[in-house]
Structure 1
């Protein structure tokens, strides 16, 4: 009875059926047929007993539900059993202890040596000779069966013990909590994150600029580019535009009169400027990079302060946590803020190891056709691919042809 259960649980057919059911459940989860994220009372009022069943099985949070995770657990058990049997078979063949796929009797040692060398085997020196051909190839199947186990195990650990959350933090303030997506509640951060500043850089473009007249009205417009001099109409001055920030519609500029350069000036810092200018319109100046300058330290205060930069394409790894910059902007009063995503995935390492092993095992299966041969008292036993065995048969037949 136990043998039958083991045979079924470790079979490829069982794997296929589990994958089919997982695919069906996955389609249900993404189709929207089962409402997600409601309260138990809402499900009960809208769907009655069906709603109560949905809540009981956890289908209101589909991918964390009992059926979905249960199937994943069964798939994990199936792959462990299948991988275990493959590992035993692979190790036996690695040491030439497995069953032979081809046997030749009444064959001399020298004849066996010749045909094996033609097939790419390395011959041992002892009387009971054991020869190998690309021995590593026997470990290909065990590796590609073990790798998915590590990947799935890492994913399950990550989903159970890890989390993803978000937090909006105004510049100059600190965050001690974040919104945990899995429970949709605020929870304490295991560290303190303070945003010191936000630096935004832009791809440069062109601007239309006008000088302010003495009566406060705008003069004639003219075009200016960052880093280039532009004559100011109706004056002996030229504008040197240093930078422009479209988020706050302000620019940093210099005013030149001949060789004399005055500035830098910006809105609110223009005392003594020979000419005051204002942006009218711009073209280009798309966001190039946003960087949040932060300080981090443990919540208990018993650790060093870590100063770091977090940008859109460069998340910060802080201990077991990864912090992404996901949002930025200004509030209704113009104060800048940044948004972070905080993740913790304790299963990530296993997923990486499993993925690398899967690639390595696949490489072995494609490029290493393993084989072993054992010659003992006139009998040659061989375990190898069909192609290698056919080559051996042909070589033996050729050796046996009369002169």
Structure 2
């Protein structure tokens, strides 16, 4: 059973299938706008299509359970494939043959033989010196009175370039999973002078509470003569423990950042309602922009979604434990909040503009950037840095004559290795015997 699972997760076919599936679903996530207001999907696709898209998770692809599952499977596949193939690559890279037996040079793609006027000891030292000048790590692997074997290689780490790539991909996947599991993307609507710590998700009724408040000190919007918005700017403050800890004026593409959470100037709207909230402990009046939730109890919220300009009746969403219940509140009529001791009434309305903020937390951003950097480095190592090996055998011919058989292999770019060996031979020939021809 274990072997079958091991073979399944180490399959290259599985990796190709997962990559293609992720590519297709990512395209879907690009074509269909993600985490938008349900009303927008209903306008663009109709009720039936919207229900299908929502059921399939296409309105929030990158946070859907199946997308996270695909990323997890790809990560497992990558790890298992790497583990399965590592012993073979390790043996090739770290345990090479270091001698050049007679006839072995015929199996090398590049090999040369030359006879020089030098004793084998002198030639050995000079050959090692020249190879080191080309950044080879050279060593004597075998030596006796009749012959010397020399082994040299460089860039052995490039054999593991593919593993650097795998590590980079794995870190990128971890970054994506981190964002999918611990990040969020939502919105806040704040009228001038109001503050809140509640963020509504674009997809679904989920609401989260920030550990600090955001206050809109001022909101300014300019229009073109045609009536189209020209610019909208918000003066925001971060309130923590009752004190202002940060203040910034934001505009489009210039967000406010605090504790890893970004607040972008994204939209605007019109409408601020003043609600009277009555409970056993007393009553209070608060101003709230349309679409911004108000907390009424543990996991209990109320959100204004519409208003009838003639009767001043407001449409609301009562949200409790992630479930939504619609309702209406008539002016000055108390609306009993189910399951609580609170009642709500609308006592005033102002048609003022409010700022629409997009709120996002992406804890995986730096993980993804780190993984991407490692991935690029791995690709450079894997494709542009060759692992080259050189074997040499020096045979004693006469008292001061020796035959040098030298050859090499490269995992890529054999032409470069051939050039290096020619240059090494050129140096030796210039020292020991000019015009010495190479032997066939």
Does the alignment reach a TM-score above 0.5? Answer: yes
Q: 2:135 aligns with which of 97, 122, 128?
A: 122
User: 360-369 or 380-389, which moves further after superposition?
Assistant: 380-389
1:196 counterpart residue number: 217
Pair 1:321 & 2:261 matched? yes
Q: Indicate if the aligned counterparts of 2:237 and 2:244 stay in contact, CA closer than 8 A.
A: no
2:154 counterpart residue number: 133
Q: How far apart, CA to CA, are the structure 1 residues paired with 2:69 and 2:133?
A: 47
Q: Secondary structure at the match of 2:94?
A: coil
User: 182-191 or 330-339, which moves further after superposition?
Assistant: 330-339
1:295 counterpart residue number: 237
1:172 counterpart residue number: 193
Q: How far apart, CA to CA, are the structure 1 residues paired with 2:166 and 2:355?
A: 44
TM-score w.r.t. the length of structure 2 is: 0.54
- The CA deviation at 1:346 is 1.9
- The CA deviation at 1:291 is 3.0
**Corresponding pairs, count:** 304
Q: How far apart, CA to CA, are the structure 2 residues paired with 1:8 and 1:21?
A: 17
Inter-CA distance 342–28: structure 2 relative to 1 (3 Å threshold)? closer
Pair 1:72 & 2:85 matched? no
CA RMSD of aligned residues (A): 4.8
Inter-CA distance 124–135: structure 2 relative to 1 (3 Å threshold)? closer
Q: 2:418 aligns with which of 369, 391, 394?
A: 391
Q: How far apart, CA to CA, are the structure 2 residues paired with 1:82 and 1:155?
A: 21
In structure 2, runs of 5+ residues without a counterpart are 39-46, 106-119, 142-149, 273-349, 396-404, 427-435
In structure 1, runs of 5+ residues without a counterpart are 39-45, 201-244, 248-281
Inter-CA distance 195–104: structure 2 relative to 1 (3 Å threshold)? same
Q: How far apart, CA to CA, are the structure 2 residues paired with 1:31 and 1:283?
A: 30
2:314 counterpart residue number: none
Q: Secondary structure at the match of 1:155?
A: helix
- The CA deviation at 1:293 is 1.4
TM-score w.r.t. the length of structure 1 is: 0.58
Q: How far apart, CA to CA, are the structure 1 residues paired with 2:410 and 2:388?
A: 4
Q: Indicate if the aligned counterparts of 2:136 and 2:154 stay in contact, CA closer than 8 A.
A: no
Inter-CA distance 149–157: structure 2 relative to 1 (3 Å threshold)? same
Q: How far apart, CA to CA, are the structure 2 residues paired with 1:112 and 1:181?
A: 72
Inter-CA distance 85–368: structure 2 relative to 1 (3 Å threshold)? farther
Q: How far apart, CA to CA, are the structure 2 residues paired with 1:154 and 1:62?
A: 16
Q: How far apart, CA to CA, are the structure 1 residues paired with 2:376 and 2:238?
A: 37
Q: 1:312 aligns with which of 252, 259, 269?
A: 252
Q: Indicate if the aligned counterparts of 2:200 and 2:206 stay in contact, CA closer than 8 A.
A: yes
- The CA deviation at 1:185 is 3.0
1:338 counterpart residue number: 355
Q: How far apart, CA to CA, are the structure 2 residues paired with 1:343 and 1:152?
A: 19
Q: How far apart, CA to CA, are the structure 2 residues paired with 1:326 and 1:86?
A: 49
- The CA deviation at 1:7 is 4.3
User: More strand by proportion, 1 or 2?
Assistant: 2
